[in-house]
Amino acid sequence: MQNPSSVVMIRPLHFSVNAETAIDNAFQSPPGEGDRDNAIAEFDAMVSDLKAEGVDVRVFDQLTEETPDAVFPNNWFSTHPSGLIVTYPMFAPSRRGERREDILAALGKTHQVSGVMDLSQNEAQAKFLEGTGAIVFDHRTRTAFMAQSLRADADLLVNLAKDLGYEPVIFTATDEHQHPIYHTNVMLSVGEQVTLVGLETIEDEEERQDVFAALSGRGNLMVELSRPQIAQFAGNAFEVQTPDGHVLVMSETGWNALDREQREAIESAVRVIVPSVPTIEKSGGSVRCMMAGVHLPPKH
């Protein structure tokens, strides 16, 4: 169950670029007039594209203007093949209101939920771990990859990985200005058919080799990304499962940043959906951040 069979998405009815998160998110861009309407239109078009390819999409509406980043639900919860749901401590106070019991309850009606592990109490100690933004899980090899940042605490990951029975792989990744990359999932995507990774962002040789070794044993296509490609969201992609096979979702911005050889290699391995979400990308995340994968066992 590396690729989820369903995804949760939040329709950004109150979208805005969050100034509070710009402190460590170099991927953010200044807001502009009409952002809210444009973001809703981009979201709706992406959902339509996903459904047309057979992706099961669970859409919930954003409830309040007080959660400007609600369109990125993968940061506050993750789901696991064991039936466990984990909720996470968020760095920005404005993001903590994104956690919603109604979404978890809705998942419990259609999927088997064995329990909920709530890590949000760590916010009181200023320790953060922002879901599958901070962590990239490889459920097949039971590995949890994490680039350390203000939003990704190593101790929290080690403890979570122990509880889940996963092996943690922790490293430091930086952009071209030597700033820590705020979320692991902008430089790493691990799917059933394709792995996308920005190894050049990991400057420590031993850490880079550890990440490469952990990824190379999967037997799937590995595409290495450059820092400029990562800056264009080429790493913020997500591979999902449909009744007709695997689909890789990457934004138009990210897809256009790839060279012809990379695109041809990916298309030879998996079907590709390329939504256009430039307004939503102003908030510093792309299509991967917009989809919270549902790995829970379905109810029969």
pLDDT of residue 228: 96
The amino acid at residue 125 is Q
The secondary structure element, H or E, covering residue 190 is strand 188-190
Calculate the alpha carbon distances from 125 to 47, 67, 119, 128, 149 in Å: 37, 22, 11, 9, 16
pLDDT of residue 23: 66
**67-87 mean pLDDT:** 97
Q: What digits encode the pLDDT tens for the residues 146-202? A: 999 999 999 999 999 999 999 999 999 999 888 999 899 999 999 999 999 999 999
**73-82 mean pLDDT:** 97
Residues 211 and 207: their CA atoms lie apart, in Å, by 6
* Placement of tokens 């998996």 in the chain: 270
Instruction: Name the least confident of 60-64, 149-153, 175-179, 254-258.
Output: 175-179
For the chain, what is the mean pLDDT?
A: 95
**19-40 mean pLDDT:** 77
Indicate whether 22 pLDDT > 70: no
* Placement of tokens 């401590």 in the chain: 89
3-class state of residue 259 by DSSP: coil
Question: 204, 213, 158: which is closest to 180 by C-alpha?
Answer: 204
Q: Which CATH class is domain 6-294?
A: alpha beta
pLDDT of residue 137: 98
Residues 185 and 132: their CA atoms lie apart, in Å, by 7
Q: What digits encode the pLDDT tens for the residues 93-124? A: 999 999 999 999 999 999 999 999 999 999 99
DSSP H helical ranges for 135-276: 154-164, 205-216, 227-231, 252-257, 260-269
**114-140 mean pLDDT:** 97
pLDDT band for position 21 (cuts 50, 70, 90): confident
Enter the tokens of residue 20. Answer: 């509070």
Residues 118 and 90: their CA atoms lie apart, in Å, by 12
3-class state of residue 7 by DSSP: strand
- CA dihedral of 53, 56, 62, 68, whole degrees rounded to 10: -60
Indicate whether 77 pLDDT > 80: yes
Query: Would the CA dihedral through 73, 74, 76, 82 be positive or negative?
Result: positive
Indicate whether 90 pLDDT > 70: yes
Q: What digits encode the pLDDT tens for the residues 262-287? A: 999 999 999 999 999 999 999 889 99
**238-263 mean pLDDT:** 97
Looking at the chain, the number of H-run helices and the number of E-run strands are 10, 15
pLDDT of residue 19: 73
Phi, psi of 169 (to 5 degrees): -125, 105
Task: Please list, residue by residue across 180-199, b when 16 or more beta carbons sit within 10 angstroms of its beta carbon and e when fewer do.
Answer: bbbbbbbbbbbbbbbbbbbb
Q: What digits encode the pLDDT tens for the residues 198-211? A: 999 999 999 999 99
Residue 258 DSSP code: S
Query: Would the CA dihedral through 256, 258, 261, 264 be positive or negative?
Result: negative
Indicate whether 25 pLDDT > 90: no
Indicate whether 230 pLDDT > 80: yes
pLDDT of residue 20: 64
Task: Please list, residue by residue across 73-96, b when 16 or more beta carbons sit within 10 angstroms of its beta carbon and e when fewer do.
Answer: bbbbbbbbeeebbbbbbbbbebbe
